[in-house]
């Protein structure tokens, strides 16, 4: 059991910033001597749970997949679709048939040809239930995809075909304006059928892996580093200017910053230490990039837990008692936006900005009074407190947030709430959320594209992205109706009606919209993170 004090947490944050304010001067000569000019060193935040692009579902794995594999389309630094392995494509007048025209002489990293038939295999593998990809929903608008995912149709019935080696045709059930953006994710990239069938799960080992992207896997030391080297068979090989990429899984952001300072890293991960942010900004100036991200930070209620699932008043009380203004302004202090909704305020050009709790703008004392009344009605008080555990993965920021929220709940409810913290290694934490082995857990979702359906999967019954295990059939029905509706105005109304359900059912605790902060050495050229609201990054953009 922990004893929390929010003022102490905030004071510690301020004192940490002051203590770290002593000047740091980079020794340019030492930096240049230490830096291998043929290698880009980047932090990916944790050990990648999977190097299989079909399976990968987290940002650490995805950052590496963007280098190792390629798809029909590529994307620029503002997240716009551009030609990739398909040099062009056509869309039918009814918006339901996409025809992609592949480049000639495409090859995997072992020199074997890549054809449209390889995309047929790769996409069938993605929707195949035996693959168990939590990102199969990227193809949910393709004909028969949903039936295949539910084992109600054969994989071969997926609405895709390869009339010849250079033509790949996709049939959609209905027009989908987000389709091209969805297939920019590595899960829809091309993978090597022969290698996978030969080695099974061991195909991702460095000695076996065959890739399709700008780089190929050379070495993987678990919890140590990953090295990728330039793929000579990549279709755009002449534009790849750095020979090697070395990925470090720094879980502790302070360690990553120290490595950056001493010349061991060229680019840090998405998070900088809360205590050091102000001083780093002062010391390193425009080497620190902070960008508002199309992403949500929230907590899941485990709706498999009957105590939590059967007590909506309890869930609402805990949600309402959190002061998001203090959390973002005084604890996090990196421009994050307080969140009172199931989606961001910025998605789809702010179309959903007014979708939020009806109490979002109440005075703070009124919120607290209502939260106390709700907790009492939920059956909890000082003699019968609600005791629960917050689970989170290893990161200083997650721990600081958990401490702050625990303090807010104790201040609001006195002894009627008792909180424990549980820290987990990343892969174990992912499994715990998927399997419902928690009470309340930290969660986050980085939009895969700037469209509302990037968030709707978070609340769909049996969705692999739904870690709260919330299920409301009416929600699924409304989402299906919205996707199939061709009238943009009616579609917006249906999406809002659907998303209001998990909001008012208090399936999750929305906390804030992310910003991401990273440091980039001035000698790293060609990379412009400031307009990259999804933080989808490819090393091939960069050079020294």
pLDDT tens, position by position, 412-466: 999 999 999 999 998 899 999 999 999 999 999 999 888 999 999 999 998 989 9
Q: What are φ and ψ of residue 216, in 5° steps?
A: -130, 150
Greater pLDDT, 303 or 177: 303
pLDDT tens, position by position, 294-324: 999 999 999 999 999 999 999 999 999 999 9
- Of 244, 176, 211, the closest CA to residue 106 belongs to 211
pLDDT band per the 50, 70, 90 thresholds, residue 5: low
Q: How many CA atoms lie within 13 A of 459 on its CB side?
A: 31
pLDDT band per the 50, 70, 90 thresholds, residue 22: very low
Rounded CA gap, 196 and 210, in Å? 9
CATH of 28-46+208-289+518-541, one of 1.50.10.20, 3.40.190.10, 3.20.20.140, 3.40.50.10800: 3.40.190.10
pLDDT band per the 50, 70, 90 thresholds, residue 34: low
| % of the chain residues with pLDDT over 90 | 87
Domain residue ranges in the chain: 28-46+208-289+518-541, 59-199, 297-516
Check residue 485 and give its pLDDT.
86
Burial letters 228-257, b for 16+ CB under 10 A, else e: bbbbebbbeeeebebebbbbbbbbebeebb
pLDDT tens, position by position, 194-253: 999 999 999 999 999 999 999 999 999 999 999 999 999 999 999 999 999 999 999 999
What is the fold of 297-516? Dipeptide-binding Protein; domain 3 (3.10.105)
Bridge partners, 113 (sequence order): 107
Sign of CA dihedral 360, 362, 365, 370: negative
pLDDT at 40 over 70: yes
Check residue 151 and give its pLDDT.
97
Instruction: Report yes or no: 405 and 279 within 8 Å, Cβ to Cβ.
Output: no
Check residue 484 and give its pLDDT.
83
pLDDT at 15 over 70: no
Exposed / middle / buried, residue 486 (Cβ in 10 Å: 0-12, 13-18, 19+): exposed
pLDDT tens, position by position, 261-291: 999 999 999 989 988 999 999 999 999 999 9
pLDDT at 29 over 60: no
Instruction: Report yes or no: 410 and 8 within 8 Å, Cβ to Cβ.
Output: no
Burial letters 62-84, b for 16+ CB under 10 A, else e: bbbbbbbbbbbbbbebebebeeb
Other beta carbons within 10 Å of 135: 22
The structural architecture, per CATH, of the domain 59-199 is: Alpha-Beta Complex (3.90)
- Of 337, 330, 327, the closest CA to residue 278 belongs to 330
Rounded CA gap, 244 and 491, in Å? 46
Average of per-residue pLDDT values in the chain: 93
Please report the DSSP string for 365-423 in residue order.
Answer: HHHHHHHHHHHHHTT-BTTB-EEEEEEEES-HHHHHHHHHHHHHHHHHHGGGEEEEEEE
pTM confidence score: 0.80
| % of the chain residues with pLDDT over 70 | 94
Greater pLDDT, 335 or 19: 335
pLDDT at 16 over 70: no
pLDDT at 343 over 70: yes
pLDDT at 31 over 60: no
- Crossing angle of helices 473-484 and 488-505, rounded to 10°: 160
pLDDT at 14 over 50: no
pLDDT tens, position by position, 374-420: 999 999 999 999 999 999 998 889 999 999 999 999 999 999 999 99
3-state secondary structure of 244: strand
């Amino acid at each position: 059991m922990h004893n929390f004090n929010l003022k102490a947490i905030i004071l510690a944050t301020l004192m940490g910033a002051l203590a770290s304010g002593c000047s740091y001067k980079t020794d340019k000569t030492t930096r240049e001597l230490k830096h291998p000019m043929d290698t880009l060193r980047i932090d990916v935040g944790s050990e990648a749970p999977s190097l299989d692009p079909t399976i990968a579902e987290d940002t650490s794995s995805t950052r590496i997949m963007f280098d190792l594999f390629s798809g029909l389309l590529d994307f620029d630094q503002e997240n716009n679709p551009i030609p990739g392995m398909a040099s062009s494509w056509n869309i039918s007048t009814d918006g339901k048939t996409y025809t992609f025209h592949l480049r000639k002489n495409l090859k995997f990293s072992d020199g074997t040809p890549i054809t449209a038939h390889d995309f047929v295999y790769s996409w069938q593998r993605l929707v195949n239930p035996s693959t168990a990809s939590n990102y199969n929903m990227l193809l949910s608008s393709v004909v028969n995809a949903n039936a295949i995912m539910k084992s109600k149709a054969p994989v071969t019935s997926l609405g895709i075909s390869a009339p010849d080696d250079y033509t790949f045709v996709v049939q959609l059930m209905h027009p989908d304006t987000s389709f091209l953006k969805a297939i920019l994710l590595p899960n829809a990239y091309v993978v090597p059928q022969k290698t996978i069938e030969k080695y099974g799960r061991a195909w991702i080992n460095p000695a076996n892996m065959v890739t399709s992207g700008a780089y190929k896997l050379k070495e993987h030391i678990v919890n140590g580093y990953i090295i990728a080297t330039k793929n000579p068979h990549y279709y755009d090989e002449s534009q790849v200017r750095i020979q090697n990429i070395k990925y470090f899984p720094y879980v502790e952001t302070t360690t990553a910053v120290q490595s950056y300072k001493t010349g061991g890293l060229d680019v840090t991960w998405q998070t900088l230490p809360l205590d050091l942010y102000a001083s780093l900004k002062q010391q390193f100036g425009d080497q620190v990039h902070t960008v508002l991200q199309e992403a949500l930070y929230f907590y899941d209620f485990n709706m498999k837990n009957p105590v939590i699932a059967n007590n909506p008043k309890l869930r609402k009380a805990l949600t309402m008692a959190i002061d998001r203004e203090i959390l973002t302004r005084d604890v996090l202090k990196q421009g994050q936006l307080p969140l009172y909704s199931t989606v961001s305020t910025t998605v789809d050009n702010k179309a959903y900005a007014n979708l939020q709790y009806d109490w979002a703008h109440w005075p703070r004392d009124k919120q607290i009074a209502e939260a106390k009344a709700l907790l009492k009605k939920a059956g909890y008080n000082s003699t019968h407190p609600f005791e629960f555990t917050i689970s989170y993965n290893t990161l200083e920021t997650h721990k600081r947030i958990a401490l702050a929220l625990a303090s807010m709940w104790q201040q609001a409810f006195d002894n009627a709430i008792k909180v424990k913290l549980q820290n987990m290694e990343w892969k174990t934490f992912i499994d715990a959320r998927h399997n419902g082995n928690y009470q309340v857990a930290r969660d986050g979702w980085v939009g895969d594209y700037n469209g509302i359906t990037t968030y709707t999967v978070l609340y769909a019954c049996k969705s692999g992205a739904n870690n709260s295990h919330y299920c409301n059939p009416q929600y699924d029905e409304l989402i299906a109706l919205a996707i199939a509706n061709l009238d943009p105005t009616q579609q917006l109304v249906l999406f809002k009606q659907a998303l209001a359900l998990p909001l008012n059912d208090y399936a999750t605790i929305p906390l804030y919209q992310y910003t991401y902060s990273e440091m980039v050495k001035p000698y790293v050229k060609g990379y412009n993170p400031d307009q990259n609201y999804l933080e989808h990054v490819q090393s091939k953009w960069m050079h020294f």
